[in-house]
Structures are given as structure tokens and as C-alpha cells.
A and B are shown apart, each in its own frame.
Chain A
Amino acid sequence: MFTQFMKLFSVNLKSMFREKQVWFWNIFFPIILMVIFMVIFAGGSNEFKAKVALVDVEHSEMSTQMADQLSSIPMFEWNSEEPVSIEQANEWILSDDIDAAILLPNASNGNELKLIYNQENESSATIQGIKGIINEFIVQANWAVIGVEPTFVVESQAISSAGHTINYKDFLLTGMIAMAIAQGGLFGMIEMVEMRKTGLLRRLKMTPVRLGLNAAAALLVRILLAIVQIVLLSLIGVFGFGATLNIDIPTLIVAFIIGVLAFNALGYLISSFSKTLEAYMGISNIASFLMIFLSGIFFPTSGFPDWLVPVSAILPLTYFVDALRDGMVYASGFLTSKFWFGLMIVTIWGVVAYALGTMLYRKSKIETR
């Protein structure tokens, strides 16, 4: 029995690593994707900067004073040291040379301070940011005019349950690892479809070997592949992009094993009703694509529109990525109920997928032609 298992294990291992597609989709693809995302989203500084210009029609004492104060705001980058004409500002806005122009109060517009921006960008984060800063500036200015010291002030400070400050790189790295493992599971059962198509499954059924033994051997190989993924991606994330990991071994192991099993079960389910390789690849692609974007791998799910939140809240990847983050960046979770609740949902997905897949395989009597 054991030698049979080892033989099957080595056969599965060889079949897997001799297949170039496996290398591409399971190793190179996640790495390339991670490098791209790291460079795009985590490469620059996180500070807010906006390009603005000042328009001062009157050059009154008040407007000059305001201009002085505005120019000392560090988030603003001035396109020109001196105030410009309104025509010039409009031209810059339309050609996207600046994000907005600030029109200082003058006699003709009362005491209004005007913000001019391109309507296309109205809801952009930059414009929202500029509006916020200007509002704050006006409030301060009004207080100064009437000579009041504010009673309450807000000072914001980001906190996190991690031992150190989390940055987007850590978030992205763990998301990538979760995605790679999920995809490994979803696409991994392509072998089942292939074996069914070529008749190898049927051929094995003619021998006394137990197919369950083969499945176990194949699963062990997949776990091995997932370990390779997690180590490689972590090394690249940490040494290539300066991500910081804070690993809690028991949390990580539990999350990892349950995740690998559950996503392989999902792949198994898809394989049970896919008659061709193309169908299997198509369905797996849709499933993984939806999960990747709805499960908070690249962006936190809190920014999602309301109607999308419940969808995200039932997907297994949402919980798997959380559990993995518990194990890899927060070094917590093993004792929290949130961690176990999340894993329970992942487990339910796995068990249901496995049961359903087995039922479908039985029902189709594995017409292994």
C-alpha cells in the first residue's frame, strides 16, 4: 500500500513538473502578476499631492495674504509661483496640466473662494482631496477672522492589530499568495478531466489500484506545489519589494491546509461536470476571475458598493485571504473567533463542493470514454 502510494506520488509529481503549462500558470504567472501590481500600486509614496494654480484677479491685501497661506500647504504643488490669469488656469485644467485652480476672493464675487476643476475628474480622489483641504483652510481662516480657538481638534492616527504598521505591499503580497493557491486548486483538477478524456481513469479502474489512493497522492503533490508558491512569492515580496511579514506558524499552517483542500475540492466539482478541457478551463477562469476581484485580494472589500458586499461575504477566497493574512502579517487569529468563523466558511465550501462533485461523478458513472 505504501509503496503503491509512493509510486503514485512520484508519478503525479513527474506528470506535473514535466508539464510546461503547470510551470507557467502556477509559478511564473503569479510572480509576474505580483511584480506588476507591486510596481503599479505599491511603488510610489503614499502622500497626497495635487497640482494646482492660483488665480488672483484683484491683488488685494486679503487675497495676497490668503495666497501666502495657501502656498504653505505641503500637499499642493504649484504650477506657477505667481498667480495666473483665469484664462491661463482654464487652459491648464482642460489640458490636464493642473488638477484644479483656486480663484481667490475679490470684490466682484463677494468673499467667495472658488475652486475650478475639470468636470471629468469631479469624483476623483484628487479633487475630493483638494476640496477637503480648501474647506479646512476656509474654516481655519474664518476662525482666525473672528478670533476663536477651536475647542476640539481631530488628530488621525492609523492603527492596526499587526505588530508593526501594515502597508499595501504586505496586503498585496498575501493577496497574491492566496490567489495563487486558489488558482492552483481551481485549475489543478484539469488532470482529472484529461484523465477522463484520454481514458486513463478508466484504464486505472481496470487494475486493482484504489482510485482514492491516486487522488490522495495527487493532492499531496498539489500541497507541495502550493508550498513552493508560498515560499517563492514571499521571498520575492520580502526581498524584492520590501514587504514585511509577521508569521504565526500554527495559524498559517491551519489556514494553508484548509485553503488548499477547499480550493482543490472546488476544482474537483468543476471537473465533475466539465466534459471537455475547454469547458473546464472556461468555468475555472470565470470562477477565479470573479473571486479575485470580489474577495479583496488587491483592494480591501470595504470600498465595495453596498449591493456587492453580500457577494463578497460568501466567497471562500474572501475568508481564505483573511485567514492567510492572519497567519502571515497579523500573526494573530489562532485564538480569535473571526479566524475560525472564516475558516469554517471555507471548509463548508470545500465539503459541499467535494460532496457534490462525488455525487456528479457517481451519477455520470464516469463514462470514461
Chain B
Amino acid sequence: MALLEVTGLSKSFGAVQAVKNISFSVKAGEVFTIIGPNGAGKTTTLEMIEGLLPPDNGAIDIDGLTWEKHREQIKIKIGIQPQSSAMYELLTIEENLDLFASFYPNPKEVAEVLEMINLTEHRNKRVKSLSGGQRQRLAIGLAIISNPQIIFLDEPTTGLDPQARRNIWDIILKWKESGKTTILTTHYMEEAEVLSDRVCIVDQGLIVAIDTTANLIEQLSNEREVRLSFVDGEASARTAKQYISQEPTVVNTKLEGSTLHIWTIQPEETLYKLFGFTQDNGLRVEQVAIREKSLEDVFIHFTGKEWRD
């Protein structure tokens, strides 16, 4: 059964329709990622689900509860890390966690959360003096201190350096291991690929695709790009190009200096034949690469836009 069920959600701000008829459901234990460019409607969608913005239309069901009838019960079931992480600046990490723990009937141990967000040794530091990554980890700590069933993380890694970003990923994966559910927004493709069970691509307030990362990639046409570069330069590359473009599985080829790009629907077969040819003709290959399809391709495919971080 779905832990979160969103049906036909819409929201307008004046003349701007930020969210248009969004529906999806999330199962317990999933990491569900909403991905999309800035202004796509990610945060608006999230805030409606978190009960911070009333939707114009649509229904939100969290574990059988609705905001209209069960506001206080839902508050206990969910943990929120808002995009701007507000906390008591003059209090220490531990004091902040301790205070938030007191708001809930059945909180986690502060020590356990400190361990989980990897801030045990900094627990007596005041929030004011924390780095961006530490702040963000504490914000997640404040979301999980209530021991909720589901946490909402709104762009938790935006603006962090790669190491700090990985630290956050570790926390999310640990949380997932404990069988809990996460709803995440991000505009980092890589992050969505690493963390998510399912991805929902939002563009201009609409869901353009929703599935597991693997399925989404599979849905794309199955041609792959193979790249070879030759030691002896453009002449060898041209010879190889002439040979391989006659293969029926090869869709397209392109020459770029001594590098040959091949688009094929059968990369193994194409490479096998190509290597036979190069060996027979004494062409020396320097580098070979098959480019993996990524979520980025999916995004470009569905939205027709270049991805920009």
C-alpha cells in the first residue's frame, strides 16, 4: 500500500500556474526523487505535501491521513528539512536537537541522531559557527529527530562541495537502510541516480516522466555511442569509418580528428567486428569508450532541454 498518495495537485500564484495536475504515489521504504530545473514546481509540490501551502486542487493522503482532518497526527509522522534551514543560531547542535526532540511524543535519542548525521564530535558547537555541510546535516537531523515514517528533503545538497554532498548521501542511504521513506528534490542528476528508487521528472509544473532510473533509461532508444581513437591519426580513423558504416546495426558515424564516434544499436557486435578489422589491417587503437546512458539523457529526451546544474 502506498504511504503517500498525491492526486491531481494544482497550485497557481496569480497568473502563474506553478503546479499542474500532479499525481504520484510513494511506497514505504522508497527514496522518491523529484527532479527538474529551477522553477519547475518542485518546492511548491513539496510544500503542499508538507502542509505548508494549501493546494488549489487535488488531494494528499499520508498513511491514510489528510491535512484537513489530521494535521497534528501528520506532523508527527513526517520530518521536514526545508530549503532554507532555519534553526536557533545561538544554540549548539545538541541543544537544537534536544529542543526539537521535546516537541514529539516518541523521538529518537539525540545521541543516535548525532551519530547518524556524523556530528557527534561537534555537538557543542553553536549553529552560527557551522559550515554549510554541517548546517545541512543538522537540518536533516532535525527532520529525523521525531522518528518519522517519511522525511522530506528539499534540495539538501544545493551549494555544497562534492565531499559534503557525499556525506549527505550517506545519511540518506543510512535512513533508507532503516526501512524509512524519503522524498527528495534535487537538481543534481547524479544525486538522483545514486539515491533514488524512483524518479519523477517535473518540468513547468507537469510530470514528464516517472519510473525507476533504469526503466527510464531503458525507455530511451537503445542506440549507444562508442568512441575510438587511433594512434596513427585521422587516416586510420577514416579507414575504420568506411568499414564500419556499412554494418546494418550502425546508425551513424562521425569523425573528429583521430577520434571516431559510432552510434550503434549493438555495441558488442560492432566492437567485435571493428577490432577484427583493425587487427587485420594493422590499425593501432589508442582508446575505446562506450558512453553509459544517464538520467541526463532521459531528461534531455523528455524535456527537450539541455541540462544545467
Contacts and interface: CB of A to CB of B under 8 A. Distances in A.
B98 A7 contact: yes
A369 B29 CA distance: 31
Interface string B102-144: 1110000000000000000000001000000000000000100
Interface string A317-354: 00000000000000000000000000000000000000
A14 interface: yes
B84 interface: yes
B99 A18 contact: no
Nearest to A209: B103
Contact of A203 (B82, B90, B95, B102): B82
A11 interface: yes
Contacts of B80: 206
Nearest to A208: B75
A308 interface: no
B228 to A, nearest CB: 53
Main secondary structure of the interface of A (DSSP, over half): helix
A245 to B, nearest CB: 35
A200 B87 contact: yes
B52 interface: yes
A56 B308 CA distance: 99
Nearest to B75: A208
Interface in A195-240: 195, 198-200, 202-203, 205-209
Interface string A56-72: 00000000000000000
Interface residues of A, number: 21
B225 interface: no
A202 B91 contact: no
B171 interface: no
B256 interface: no
A208 B151 CA distance: 15
Given A14-B90, A199-B86, A207 B75 contact: yes
A18 B89 CA distance: 10
Contact of B102 (A7, A195, A199, A206): A7
Interface string B266-278: 0000000000000
A15 interface: yes
Interface residues of B, number: 26
Nearest to A210: B103
B72 A202 contact: no
Contacts of B91: 11, 14-15
B302 interface: no
Contacts of A18: 90, 126
A87 interface: no
Contacts of A209: 103
Contact of B90 (A19, A199, A207): A19
Nearest to A8: B99
A206 B86 CA distance: 12
A308 B246 CA distance: 101
B164 interface: no
A127 to B, nearest CB: 56
B86 A207 contact: no
A207 B87 CA distance: 13
Contacts of B98: 7
A25 to B, nearest CB: 16
A4 interface: yes
B52 A203 contact: no
Contacts of B99: 7-8, 11
21 contacts: A3-B102, A7-B102, A8-B99, A11-B99, A14-B90, A15-B91, A18-B90, A18-B126, A198-B86, A199-B84, A199-B86, A200-B88, A202-B52, A202-B86, A203-B86, A206-B82, A207-B100, A208-B75, A208-B76, A208-B103, A208-B104
Interface of B: 50-52, 72, 75-76, 80, 82, 84-91, 95, 98-100, 102-104, 126, 142, 146
